[in-house]
Chain A
Amino acid sequence: MFRRIPRVVRAGLVAGIVSVYLCLVGVVGSLVTDVVGRITVGRVLLSIPAILAGFLVARPRVVSGEVRRSSVRAGVPAGAIVGLTTGALLAVFVGIVNLLGVDTVRNVFIAVKPGLMSLLTFGHAGVVGSVLRIAAEVALGAVGGVIGAMQDRIRVPTVIAATVVISLGLLRRIVHPALAQLGLRDDWLFSVVTLGLTWFGAAAVFVVTFVTTFAWRANSAAIRARTHRTPATERGVRVVVLAAIGAGLIALPFLVGSIFSQILGTVGIYILLGLGLNIVVGYAGLLDLGYVAFFAVGAYTTAVLTGGSRVTTTGYAPPSFSLHLSFFIAIPIVVVVAALVGLVIGAPVLRLRGDYLAIVTLGFGEIARVLFSSDWLKGAFGGTQGMTAIPAAPIGNLDFRNTQHFYFLVLAFCLIAVYISWRLADSRVGRAWNAMREDEQVAEAVGVSTVRYKLLAFAMGGAIGSLGGALFAVQVGALNNASFMLLVSITALAVVILGGMGSIPGVVVGALVLIGIPGVFSEFEQYRLLLYGAVLMAIMILRPQGLIPNVRRSQELEEEDVAQDKWAGAVTADEHATSPALPLGEGTG
């Protein structure tokens, strides 16, 4: 039935539902940081659904192998109709809330406050407010339509510039200290009052970004064509790029300051978890939902070996078994212990596959958390109160507790883990794992001992993951079971899936996106899980092979896509013959 509604109205309805949803969960009303002038994050987010929907109906489409571009004359009304629908839905929402009374609604949806209502109606009560909201949404939809109808060479720089402006508006805390350190004034850019961008600053950033992107896109091909590429220059370019990345990695913590170095440290910890889990899930194809067990083992083993104290009701006490090793001497022991735990977890699940394996490992993850916080092992691990006073990792007079120094410790561990993952992928061991992932029974028949290689995957994945736990213990200096919830396993898995299963760069990017972005844009902290859900859904629909796919796996998914598209195309073609579709946005351009 939904399919019988004209496309523009459908898009508008979806945008309207998303807008209402954003209002209800509080994203619009409670995110009050100013981005540009007095426009808050909430308002920016509220305007996105209509713009996006307007864009989607007006963007160029490929119809039977031919690109159909909308003209602005067709794009604007299409976008406006989208906006009208979105606005109408929001007006209905406002009407219902007013009818029931804000306080009644608030009993259920605590985010619905008078402030939100006045934001939606621009401070006008009754019909005027609703009309204003509808008009605003029509305008936003039309803007989306215009963007959709633009030529690529204008649209791409526009979108990039807008994204940069909005991001910059949220990043004062990171940009301001960095600029200050370089001795640059930024009061023209950031308003001292709102802490967001000034209108002048926003316009300047927009124009500069637009012009640079535009010029780059127009000329990069020409420049590339002009410079003669030989293997020698290619190698030179690669060396320069690597050197630049290296220098950037070293300079990064000093540029961004200590708060953001801490976020980078956490990103690094999740890169380690992701790389370890990537061996288990991506290489060997064993879906492990209890990966937090290794994180916990790494953290608690480090705490015990380096001389952390357990928290008691009366104060601190040493655990029943305690050594005072240096962190760097403890690490090899931690790794061995984690690998052994990997064997212990792996052994009982050797015969399980797929969903069953996932469920059982999920249980193991919980068992690990419960054991570490149990009264039974209270003497060793401090029970629910956990452990504290975990020493830092000293080398000379560096102790890596300082977040900027800690970053380098994490960086070193990540580089080691990346190297190991990379070497393993292209070796006899990696091939055996891949073969097992592809078809366990056949791998066995071709001579791969699946028992041995499953255990090896769990041990190896556990060992790398435990490094993340060990660093976590050093980073926070105190542990309790709240740090080892199921969410850690899920996040690590999301990092692997988002980046692309089996892909090392994918893990890095996945961790940056899922841990780094919510950390940097701390406004969204309370909506982190909402964001995860949305991002994962989007990935599954738009790019199931992950952001940076492992080359081969992606090809198969794409082939499947082509086949599915053909099938879907055939189905919709039938449908078009029977249902009236509004021929909008299909002018020439």
Chain B
Amino acid sequence: MNLLDVQGVSKHFGGLYALSGLDFAVEEGEILSIIGPNGAGKSTVFNVITGLYAPDDGDVVFRGESIVGLTPNQITRLGIARTFQTVHLFPNMTVLENAMVGQHCRSRTTIFGAVFLTPSMRREERSIREHAESALGFFGQRLAGYRQDQPAFSLSYANRRRLEMARALATEPSLLLLDEPTAGMNPRETLELRDHIVRMRDDLGLTILVIEHDMRVVKGVSDRVVACDYGQKIAEGSYEDVANDEHVIEAYLGTKAAG
């Protein structure tokens, strides 16, 4: 069964059609890459899936139910987590607190619980902390130890990216949306992250939808690849198929001059 179905989704901003009838599906347990030139509508489709934008047309179906019209926090609660193209952390909160916010949708403590220190609140707080620490622990020593109590703004760029992913993992998702996870990383960090993405599927059992420009990463992680241009799907299949598809080559490089 498909975990996520994007069915004929259109979204326009004024006269600009960012998405026009985009169709694709994500199967449970796979890593699906979305590629396409700048402005192809890749990030827009993420924003539609996570509820930041409402689609003008079409439907997004998660686990057999439409999620169009739900607020982003409800969608996160259903099990779809995401990272952003440019890093968006809570810069003045500590690394651990950033991850703990991820656990927000899996916990229930209210004002009364917090004020009156009920036993269930203490228990839940401990569990939030443990889950957050284990999410940070996914990246090994990178986000461990003293770093957890440092404010997020003090992290290096690569660690900020990792923290954003850890925060997404802390929401205990079944589908993870990564928007250009390796942007701005050096080759070594990129390789490391490629392994992390694969491990998220193998070890954590996540289904992953990733937008990526670095073709080595796309090649390394993808079970399937969807190529988009002008808000439409132009090719779909294994990496090799898509990479050699003439529409895709045309979209990236343009058509040969006549003659």
A residues in contact (CB < 8 Å) with B: 419-420, 423-424, 427-432, 434-435, 438-439, 441-451, 456, 460, 552-553, 555-556, 559
Contacts and interface: CB of A to CB of B under 8 A. Distances in A.
Instruction: Report which residue of A420, A423, A445, A555 has the largest number of chain B beta carbons within 10 angstroms of its beta carbon.
Output: A445
A259 to B, nearest CB: 35
Given A438-B90, A439-B88, A555 B167 contact: no
A443 B117 contact: no
B153 A435 contact: no
B183 to A, nearest CB: 17
A447 B114 contact: no
Given A444-B71, A447-B171, A428 B92 contact: no
A460 B110 CA distance: 12
B151 A450 contact: no
Nearest to A447: B105
22 contacts: A419-B115, A423-B115, A427-B113, A428-B109, A428-B114, A428-B128, A429-B109, A429-B110, A432-B104, A434-B101, A435-B90, A435-B104, A438-B89, A442-B84, A444-B71, A444-B72, A445-B84, A446-B104, A447-B171, A552-B94, A556-B91, A556-B153
B111 A460 contact: yes
B181 to A, nearest CB: 16
B171 A435 contact: no
Nearest to B97: A431
Contact of A556 (B52, B76, B92): B92
B100 interface: yes
A266 B73 CA distance: 42
Nearest to A436: B90
Main secondary structure on chain B at its contact with chain A?
helix
Given A445-B84, A446-B81, A456-B111, 4 more contacts: A430-B114, A439-B88, A445-B82, A559-B153
A447 B50 contact: no
A446 B76 contact: yes
B70 to A, nearest CB: 11
A427 B104 contact: no
A429 B76 CA distance: 18
A393 to B, nearest CB: 23
Contact of A432 (B77, B84, B101): B101
Given A445-B72, A447-B73, A448-B73, A555 B114 contact: no
Contacts of B113: 427
10 nearest CB pairs, A to B: A447-B105, A427-B114, A447-B76, A438-B90, A442-B88, A428-B109, A435-B101, A444-B72, A449-B73, A445-B72
A224 B102 CA distance: 43
A555 B104 CA distance: 25
B159 to A, nearest CB: 17
B107 interface: yes
Contact of A434 (B50, B97, B105): B97
B54 interface: no
Contacts of B71: 444, 449, 451
Contact of B52 (A424, A434, A441, A552): A441
A438 B82 contact: no
Given A442-B84, A556-B153, A447 B104 contact: yes
Given A431-B93, A435-B93, A555-B151, A446 B101 contact: yes
Instruction: Report which residue of B74, B114, B128 has the largest number of chain A beta carbons within 10 angstroms of its beta carbon.
Output: B114
B180 to A, nearest CB: 16
Nearest to A463: B111
A429 B111 contact: yes
Given A429-B114, A439-B90, A556-B91, A445 B151 contact: no
Contact of B104 (A438, A442, A448, A456): A448
Contacts of A428: 104, 107, 109, 114, 124-125, 128
Contacts of A444: 71-73
Given A438-B92, A442-B88, A446-B101, A427 B76 contact: no
Given A430-B114, A443-B101, A552 B151 contact: yes
A555 B121 CA distance: 30
A450 B151 CA distance: 22
Interface string B123-145: 01100100000000000000000
Contacts of B153: 555-556, 559
Contacts of B105: 446-448
B93 A434 contact: yes
A101 B117 CA distance: 71
Contact of A424 (B89, B104, B115): B115
Contacts of B100: 431
Contacts of A435: 90, 93, 101, 104
A444 B154 CA distance: 23
B101 A427 contact: no
Contacts of B110: 429
Contacts of B109: 427-429
B104 A420 contact: no
Contacts of A432: 101, 104
Contacts of B89: 438-439, 442
Instruction: Report which residue of B89, B101, B171 has the largest number of chain A beta carbons within 10 angstroms of its beta carbon.
Output: B101
Contacts of A450: 73
